[in-house]
Amino acid sequence: MIDTALHQGRRRKMVKGLAAKDTYNERVIGAMSVVPRHAFVSAGLDSMAYEEKPLAIACGQTISQPSTVALQSHLLGDIRGKKVLEIGTGCGYQTAVLLQMGADVYTIERHKELCTVANGNLKRCGYGNAHLFLGDGHKGLPQFAPFDSIIVTCCANGIPQALTSQLAVGGRMALPVERGKGVQMMVLVTRISESEYRQEDIGLCSFVPMLEGVVK
């Protein structure tokens, strides 16, 4: 992985812009100042990697803009030493940010090709400790539950029940939810007790849809 002075300068500028919003905790800012975002996007998009824009990755999917990655990472709370489940590995950038924040990350992707891409990107950048799974994220990973936090990086039609049931008591889940007519809301779900959940609307957002099944 090559991290030139030019990349480092662009990354500093991106992080400065995020820090200026005074919204995200210092662990998010710290992690995003280290993870080489340019190493996760397609070679042709290298120069745009640190701009406040979503970018195309393989299989017609997109990597979220930096502020969206920061927001979701922030919503999960203090994840140092915690077990985190991510739905939608994509190119692995968000996975790397969570690992850099000190979490033990389990991540599911439905496109086999993206699993391979993410695996390569993460290993190249020194994040070989991610647990990657090819599968349908609607089901979560019951064999590794409960999770202290869950992050969904594709937009579900509702809140998948399998995922709320795999959240530890006191745990948080940040997910975009479709509210009809193409309106997507970032929702924060907190599990208060075995049977109670709190749900909070955070703000409008834009993600690729969460789809059923696996693409091999």
Residue 64 is a catalytic residue: yes
Is residue 71 within 8 Å of residue 56, measured between CB atoms?
no
Residue 138 contacts ligand SAH per CB under 6 A: yes
Look at residue 76 and give its three-state secondary structure: coil
Residue with structure tokens 């039609």? 157
Stretch that binds ligand SAH, among 110-118, 141-149, 170-178, 187-195 (CB under 6 A): 110-118
Residues in region 146-165 near ligand SAH by CB under 6 A: 153-154
Shortest distance, position 161 Cβ to ligand SAH, whole Å = 14
Which span sits near ligand SAH by CB under 6 A: 16-24, 76-84, 131-139, 173-181?
A: 131-139
Identified catalytic residue from 33, 64, 193, 206 = 64
**Coil, helix or strand at residue 170:** strand
- The Cα 176–Cα 139 span in angstroms is 17
- Which amino acid type is present at position 18? L
Pick the binder of ligand SAH from 15, 87, 101, 175 (CB under 6 A).
Answer: 87
Q: How many CA atoms lie within 13 A of 207 on its CB side?
A: 29
By the 8 A CB rule, do 150 and 175 touch?
A: yes
Options 68, 73, 94, 149; binder of ligand SAH; rule CB under 6 A:
94
Pairing of strands 62-63, 55-56: antiparallel
CB of 90 to ligand SAH, least distance (A): 2
Residues forming the site for ligand SAH (CB under 6 A): 57, 61-64, 87-88, 90-91, 93-94, 108-111, 114, 136-138, 153-154, 208, 210-211
> Active-site residue numbers?
64
